[in-house]
Structure 1
Amino acid sequence: MKVLHVITGLDIGGAEQQLRLMLRHLPVRSEVVTLTAPGPVARGIEADGTPVTHLGMAGNRDLKALPRLVRVVRQGRYDVVHTHLYRACVYGRIAARAAGVRRVVATEHSLGDRQIEGRPLSAGTRGLYLATERLGSATVAVSDSVARRLEGWGVRPGRIRVVPNGIERGRFGYDASARRAVRARLGLAEDAFVVGGVGRLAPGKRFDRLVRAVAALPDARLLLVGDGEQRGRLQAVARACGAGERVLLTGACEDPPGDPSSGLPSLPALLSAMDVFVSASPDEAFGLAVVEALAAGLPVLYVACPAVDDLPPDAAPGARRIGETVPELVSALAGIREARVGRLPQPAAAHRYDIARSARQVLSLYESLPPLSDKRVTP
């Protein structure tokens, strides 16, 4: 079986790194097209042995990119085209049908209650999505919550398959030596209370609340892993709260590392250096960073995480849902600090969300899809 994955971009991001992990575990011949931004994850995918083609798309309305994508699909003679992220799903489905591919799958990675991929939902966004969704064979939702949102949009339930995001679980076990090494490198005392967060530094992630909460706990330090347009603002908030020296921003961390010479510790090592993990985002499609933190044995505080909420409570005993306000977060962090919560065993949730299991589900979907009509779409 030969599969082409089409994705909007391959800079560092959750969906992008999820694609790389999936490719490492899918037992099929795969190739990748990125419409834009062939960044660090593209280099990592190529280092893993999967070819990546950059389509050079100029923007959302660059219609000249569509015939270029059709040619790539037609020349590759693919059995399946699998699209990821909104723009790639719209253009990729049309191109796949125009090229005569009869199995077309899309994964919906980032559909929240009020946003898609960090942008507010609109009637036009929904209409275009639904119009092109009908050209595919199936739409994969990364959580039960996303599946329900797709149904609410108007996607027929029979066309939706739930295949959760996954992690390479074995890489995330707690490592005491990595904890010591990372803390020494970052100037964190061995007995410091270190609060952690991971993600793109964007407004919707609400890392500003995390900064303010840590500022209210004089002996706490914040280790924030990620980069984005809010970096400068978060630094300003930390200074304004008098916590500038207690807030550490490491920059973006690709996981698994694509460039070992980058110098940044691996994500599992950074998680080992933390004492508690916080996800303050109120609108998530899955919550992969929470699952990674649980796999690292961390107690976790979260505002929204379908990956945990869709499971029985005993599947993630170290996770606790909290309110959105800074005082609620301060209270929860103070409680964990006072209780001296140590490292926890990997919960059942980490086993459920192993990437090898998700890859088997994707392969089974590819093999079970009935061929679409061979009637081609004219782009």
Structure 2
Amino acid sequence: MVDLTQHPVKAVYGLGALGFELVRFPIILIKFLVLGRQHPSWTLRQAITVHAFFSGLWHVSKVQVATPLPLTPEQEKERFVVIKPAKSDAYKGPLRSNKDIVPVEIGATWFPAPLTTGSDKNTKVVLHIHGGAFVTGDGRTAASGPMAKKLLKHTPATHVFCPQYRLSTLPVSKTSNPFPAALQDSLTSYLYLLNDLNISPKNIILSGDSAGGNLAIALLRYITDYGSELGLPAPSSALLWSPWTNPADTSGSYVHDNRNYATDYISPPFTAWGTTAYAGEGGDKVLSQPYVSQKNRTFKTGVPMFVNTGSGEVLYFDIVEWAEKMKEAGNDLQLDIEENVPHDILLLGHLLGFNQEAVNMAKRAGEWLRGRV
């Protein structure tokens, strides 16, 4: 089988994919104009952009385009900081499950400006863990800026802090950053806010979208399991945006056979890339444990949760099931559903033609947060 991730095959595939998409675009356009769109309520722009994003993400996943993670400021300038890991004994249990994965320095981006002290009681920080199937994304301005702006405008947040956690890569190896690398870095970011900046946990709002939502849930579980032992306090609340709750399902069927497949941009090559890389050499055994796959793994946390999903995304059914079971377990959880939108609209709504829907979601989260932070 030809390896599409290696040059020159990678470049040839890229040119071929571009030509293929250009040739078939007029056919897709006629289909949307004459036969109908992915959803009858969608505009032509929404139909075209979701289709384009689906196709682009499919091809990017086939060749596994890497995301560079430099520890230099770039365009973020003073808003980009490099943070050191906490003391070694802060990382226990599942965060030490792979002897080759140890905490490291990571970068992070502040919005709208860097925060150097948490002494102001009016300071409210959203610690947002970005999505990208554990294999793409970086939390910097280009990717996370529009999302951060919405949270700053429509919620009580005064600052948004986006860590640049290690991404998993293929082929798997001892240095390909599988689990628990990203979770270690998520904890590093939280401890940085608590210990280095002395921000009260009451003023920290944990947030995450897609795979970042998975990491946020795993971090809440870690605080539940090890918080008392470590003296690790919980954040005030959590915002979970289209969280990926079941990476253990590697069949691809839950994507392709899903009734929402036509109204989403998620595809089997993308999820397979993410799960294979994040599992690393441990394979399915890693994915099936509760710090990765939360399906049917409820736990009780004192942290109130706002869980958002789009009714048109393939993860909708898993998210609703998980949210309902977490409520049954006694958690303070509000499930928020945006009708007829695809995956992770808070992050991508401005690109896909669903910006107003993303704004509405942020406003509802803001209303929910008031009185909780």
Q: Which has the larger radius of gyration?
A: 1
Q: Give the structure-1-normalised TM-score.
A: 0.29
Q: Which has the higher strand share?
A: 1
Q: Give the structure-2-normalised TM-score.
A: 0.29
